[in-house]
Structure 1
Amino acid sequence: MKIEENKYKRIPNTNSFGVYIGLDNVGRTSMFVKLSKKPAFTTSSKYLIFEYNKRHDELWALTVAIAEQQYIGVFNKLISDLVDTVSEINHPLVAERMFIQRFIEWKTLFEKEVTSMLDFNKIVGLAGELYFLSEFMIGKYGILDSLNAWSGPLGADKDFNINNTWYEIKTKSFKKDTIHLNSHSQLISNNIGYLTVLSYEKSSLANSNSINLFDLYHKISNLIETQSLQLQFDRKLANLNFIPDEKYKEINLLFHQIEFFEVNEKFPQISNDEFDKVIMNIEYDLFLPELKHYKVEV
């Protein structure tokens, strides 16, 4: 296969050993590197496709493409890790050796990442966020601003931050009256925001009103019009260790009405401002029936 380098863009911080990202000649997302000698790994796997050829400058060109676009989240993690591996190395041959060593490890890691599955609690939590994104955010703010606002997967304290307000999503069984806060900072802000509660019950594919994580992913993806935005969406999901797969159709949830509680200066919450150098984290539960005075329509 002839590699057209103009189809690839060099990733920043790969100065001594270039790592390029782009599309191969059949349109698959792929990585391209130039090696000083023929790579020892030449057998493609179920998930990664290797192709290589010798260049006019006697270097070897290697492309590594994903077999299916649904693996883009794991592929982005692979690329990010490989870039971290070589970014601080100044000698090209040393960087190349470290790249090869780490990539060989990733050949096994990739399959493990793709085939692993979130546990039930994480499935429910992520499904709640995607359901909120689909049923509320996109209708109110549009697909672009909604996906940009989804900052929880990037490590932000609040799940969604937009237009000087925020939404912290909590998904709970409809039988429970409490929600759990993993950190005191989840509700602390200088801006008024909303504690957003989604109640669910377990259901099945036979219930046309139920939905699952796999279908939520595709429902949102079908609204995305650009490849860059899709990559952003997939990258955020990969940060949460979610790779779209039909196995996630096995757990179906029936969501109830979305409830909003306005978090203002009077809202009950615990802060460790006075002892923030001593008490590093606070977790607590909120009893929802006692918050009815803060319940609002949004």
Structure 2
Amino acid sequence: MSDIERLFQQISPGMALAKMKLDNCPVGIYYGLSEEGNYRLAFLTENPPIIIDPTAHLKVSQWAECENVYWTAFELLTPSAKQVYFVLCDNLIKATLGCQSEEIAMASVKNRFTTWKKLFKNPSSDMSEELYKGLFGELYFLKKWMLEHYSSDVAVNAWSGPDRTAKDYSVGTDWYEVKTVSTNSETVKISSLTQLDSVCAGKLILVKTEKMSKEYDNGECSVAQLFSFILDKVSDEAIKDSFVEKISQYGYNVENCDVNYSKYRVSSLNFYRVDESFPKITPKEVPRNEIVRVQYELSISAIEKYLEGEK
């Protein structure tokens, strides 16, 4: 649990704004509840703040209490998005630290919020359950494997996100293609000729999952929980921006993020070595230019001889 989440979780009903104790910060930062009982993070400045526009799920209020007392408050309107909101608040707070003036600090807050707004807007269309499950598997692999074997910045930067023309993860000559399947699945779908095609040997990762009830919660059973954990580990602000952008391009949106989709329990991560002998269809096996897309399925039991490990 992050420090900001711990503070919000300790809020009692009807609690007024409480000031955070921060060093090297040119603005006052407060947390608490709005009159409607929503989580609220507020910034206090002596000068009129830069205008910041709200989103469908985040209310931004800016007002003058009196001369030289100006407020900018970010209020969460969608309770189910609280995990992502906590990480957003942490990012907004960190954006102010070390700034030389309150004007610079609030400009930094606006720039950070502009990046995050993509996740708090109404989506043009909902993600399918299949796409959500695939995103869950990729983020689970990022948390459980990539972050344990690479630095957080390298691991997150290695993720291709929604770019389906690249391997899911690439670091140097190492690459990993992640597929999320049900525990009792007999096959795994390969959706393009390039997914397993490479001059270098790589890994096919099967994330075996079990669909759970809405009440299930092991701390890593939803996209929101994985996203929040991973983002909190990243130190480079540019990579944080890139990570949020990839998530939004995937079609993910915080509205009902833990309500509309299933929760998953991962039973195992299986690692298969993909080399020249691995059964796959590549562009050189399909030389006709008229064929632009090929999908096929592999028997999971038939590729067991390529299994190199399980986590």
| 1:271 aligns to 2:282 (yes or no) | yes
Unaligned runs of 5+ in 2: 1-44, 63-106
CA distance in 1 between counterparts of 2:215 and 2:139 reads: 21
1:135 Cα deviation from its structure 2 partner: 0.5
RMSD, matched Cα? 3.4
Counterpart amino acid of residue 228 in structure 2 = H
* One-letter code aligned to 1:163: G
- The residue type paired with residue 284 of structure 1 is Y
SS in 2 for 1:121: helix
**For residue 191 of structure 1, what is the aligned residue in structure 2?**
200
Map of 1:11-160 to 2, 5 A cutoff?
Answer: 46=56, 69=113, 72=116, 74=118, 111-113=121-123, 117-160=126-169
| Equivalence for 1:280 | 292
Same amino acid, percent of matched pairs:
24
Structure 1 residues 136 and 111: CA distance shift in structure 2, 3 A: closer
Name 1:262's counterpart in structure 2. 273
Partners of 2:51 and 2:190 lie apart in 1 by: 39
How does 1:195-234 map onto structure 2 within 5 Å?
Answer: 195-204=204-213, 206-209=215-218, 211-234=221-244
Q: Once the 2 structures are TM-superposed, how far is the Cα of residue 293 of structure 1 from its aligned partner? A: 1.0
Name the aligned partner's letter for residue 135 of structure 1: K
Distance in 1 separating the partners of 2:211 and 2:254: 20
Within 1, Cα distance between the matches of 2:188 and 2:49? 45
CA contact (8 A) 1:179 1:286 kept: yes
Structure 1 residues 172, 27: closer, same or farther in 2, change over 3 A?
farther
C-alpha distance in structure 2 between counterparts of 1:200 and 1:172, whole Å: 6
Q: Is the 8 A contact 2:208 2:268 kept in 1?
A: yes
TM-score (normalised: structure 1) = 0.63
**Correspondence for 1:247 among 257, 260, 268:** 257
Please tell me whether the aligned partners of residues 205 and 271 of structure 2 are also in contact (alpha carbons under 8 angstroms).
yes
Question: For the residues of structure 2 that align with 1:184 and 1:161, how far apart are their CA atoms?
Answer: 17
Provide closer, same or farther for how the CA distance between residues 280 and 216 of structure 1 changes in structure 2, counting only shifts above 3 A: same
Matching residue of 2:89: none
Alignment: residue pair count: 216
Aligned-partner Cα distance in 2 for 1:136–1:27: 43
CA distance in 2, matches of 1:251, 1:231: 27
Shift of 1:211: 0.9
Show the counterpart of 1:289. Answer: 301
Tell me which residue corresponds to 1:236: 246
Q: In structure 1, how many angstroms separate the alpha carbons of the residues matched to 2:49 and 2:306?
A: 51
Deviations along 1:230-278, one digit per CA (max 9) or x if unpaired, are 2111011111111334533552100011001100010011124252422
In structure 2, what is the equivalent of residue 13 of structure 1?
A: none
Counterpart contact for 2:115–2:245, Cα < 8 Å: no
Conserved 8 A contact 2:194-2:283: no
State the SS of the aligned residue for 1:292. Answer: helix
Question: 2:255 and 2:49 mapped to 1: Cα distance?
Answer: 21
Aligned-partner SS, 1:297: strand
Cα distance in 2, alignment partners of residues 255 and 261 from structure 1: 17
Amino acid at match of 1:148: N
Amino acid at match of 2:116: I
Deviations 1:165-218 (A, max 9, x none): 100000011111101011011000011100100111111354444611111111
What does the per-residue CA deviation read over 1:97-129, in whole Å, with 9 as the maximum and x for residues that have no partner?
xxxxxxxxxxxxx84328x53221111000000
CA contact 1:197–1:259 (8 Å) conserved in 2: yes
Sort the Cα spacing of 1:50 and 1:259 in 2 relative to 1 into closer, same or farther, 3 A. Answer: same
In the alignment, the residues of structure 2 paired with residue 261 and residue 181 of structure 1 have an alpha-carbon distance, to the nearest angstrom, of 14
Distance 2:291 2:210 in 1: 36
**Inter-partner Cα distance in structure 1 for 2:61 and 2:127:** 28
Query: Structure 1: 5+ residue runs without aligned partners?
Result: 1-23, 31-42, 52-62, 76-109
- Normalised by the length of structure 2, the TM-score is 0.60
User: What amino acid sits opposite 2:205 in the alignment?
Assistant: T
